[in-house]
Amino acid sequence: MFSTNVMNNWSEPLPEILILIARKINSVQDFLSYGLVCKSWHLAAASAKFNKSKLPWLMLADNNNYTENTREFFDLSNYGIIQKLNLPEVKGRKCFSSHGWLITISDDLDITLLHPLSRREISLPNLDTLGLPDMLHIDFNASSCYFYKAILSSSPSRSSNYVVMLIHGTLLGQAQLAFCRAGDKYWTPIDKWFEHYSDVTHFENQFSAVDCEGNVVVFDVNGRHIVDFSVPEIFVENYVNRLYVVELTGKLMMVCRVIEGQRENYGTRKFEVFEIDLATGFRNRIKDLGNNSIFLGFNSSISVDCAIVNGCRPSCIYFTDDGEEPYHGPPPEAPLGRGKDMGIYDMMEGTVEPLPYFEGESYSRITPPMWV
């Protein structure tokens, strides 16, 4: 029989034991409940980091006019089961995702990092330190369009030396780069090498960015320029709507997305993928991703190895709606936001298919569905 003293200390075993137990939990709901028991168990859960599938979840849009404290996550690896998480911290905020973290922006330009499972938050310098236009304080819908993408160089769960890179200025037609390092008190703008950046990624301890015309620039974590070159030949049929850069099997890839139509009739038609040689600027078209797939949208562009991830189809591109123009719906409806153009592009077949198991609609003017 247990003594009273033992029973009184049931919540205070060694931290290492609590972390070990947390790492053995397979259900996200059980993991969240574990972290709610008491302070020591919450700290253990935050340190353990839930071992969810390496296949990204699809964070759905907030469809309740930003009145709910929960957000739904669509789990492709588990037959489309919806995971519902309590996240009041993201209510009404513009969100991006990178390395499993959310990067959130409020209407007063406050920006934070948030881990959606542990709910650990890290405050970043207010975006006012970039000297932004006054209109962003007046119209948050404008503000949500002004910031196009934010990524992390590494996960704050694993390193305290991370860098946050931001693409901003979309509404003014000059989407530029800025960054802050962990512990910085302000954002640092980067020299305007090109006019309108479309994507940025962290690759081989450096950042690589591409603009909407296929120009690529490589720079270090301090914003120092290393090399740049133009790859104009990447344009597919002379019309590309979106360009991305992503690491795939240790190589830098540029992905071109072609979208047809407008308003309620728009949709992605195809993708083209090119391997980029950073030493020469030479590009080589890739027709097969092998046993890998790519995930694109308002998340940091990532690739996954389908051999070790359940529910992931090889040589496919999973994409969400990251266009600058909102989906309006059939006239005379008002703009619903973005969220219409989502699916899977099969590189081998050249076909676009809907996401498996997902039925229904998910639109938002501020944060449409994205991979986390």
pLDDT (tens digit, 9 = 90+) per residue, 41-80? 777 777 666 555 568 999 999 876 667 889 999 988 877 7
Query: Looking at the DSSP assignment, which residues form a beta bridge with residue 59?
Result: 73, 370
pLDDT at 372 over 90: yes
Q: Could you give all domains of the chain from N- to C-terminal order, each with its CATH number? A: 1-51 (no CATH), 53-371 (2.130.10)
CA distances from 165 to 98, 173, 181 (A): 11, 19, 9
Among 62-76, 134-148, 312-326, the range of highest mean pLDDT: 312-326
Residue 333: band (very low, low, confident or very high) from pLDDT cuts 50, 70, 90:
low
Query: What distance in Å separates the CA atoms of residue 123 and residue 109, rounded to the nearest whole number?
Result: 12
- Mean pLDDT along residues 106-115: 93
Residue 11, pLDDT above cutoff 70: no
Bridge pairing between strands 251-260 and 197-203: unpaired
Of the candidates 240, 153, 257, the residue with the CA atom closest to the CA atom of residue 205: 153
| Cα–Cα distances in angstroms (integers) from residue 225 to residues 208, 221, 231, in the given order | 10, 10, 18
In sequence order, what are the beta bridge partners of 270?
258
Per-residue pLDDT at 107:
86
Name the β-bridge partners of 176. 168
**Residue 313: which H helix or E strand, with range?**
none
Question: What single-letter DSSP state applies at residue 338?
Answer: B
Across 224-245, b (16+ Cβ under 10 Å) vs e yields eeeeebebeebebeeebbbbbb
The identity of residue 159, as a single letter, is S
Helix, strand, or coil (residue 258): strand
Structure tokens at 342: 């989502």
Tell me the average pLDDT across 113-133. 91
Please state, in angstroms and rounded to a whole number, the distance separating the CA atoms of residues 274 and 115. Answer: 32
Q: Alpha-carbon distance 220 to 237, whole Å? A: 33
Is the pLDDT at 150 greater than 70, yes or no? yes
Selected residue with higher pLDDT from 213 and 352: 352
Q: What is the mean pLDDT of the chain?
A: 84
Cα 9 to Cα 1, 157, 228, distances in angstroms:
15, 29, 60
Using DSSP bridges, classify how beta strands 251-260 and 242-248 pair: parallel, antiparallel or unpaired: antiparallel
CA 170 to chain centre: 17
Supply the DSSP symbol for 334.
P
Contacts 24+ apart (CB under 8 A), 23-28: 23/48, 23/51, 25/50, 26/51, 28/52, 28/83, 28/85, 28/117
User: What number is the average pLDDT over the span 154-175?
Assistant: 86
Under 8 Å between Cβ of 253 and 275 = yes
> Is there a contact between 322 and 89 (Cβ–Cβ < 8 Å)?
no
Are 123 and 130 spatial neighbours (Cβ–Cβ below 8 Å)?
no
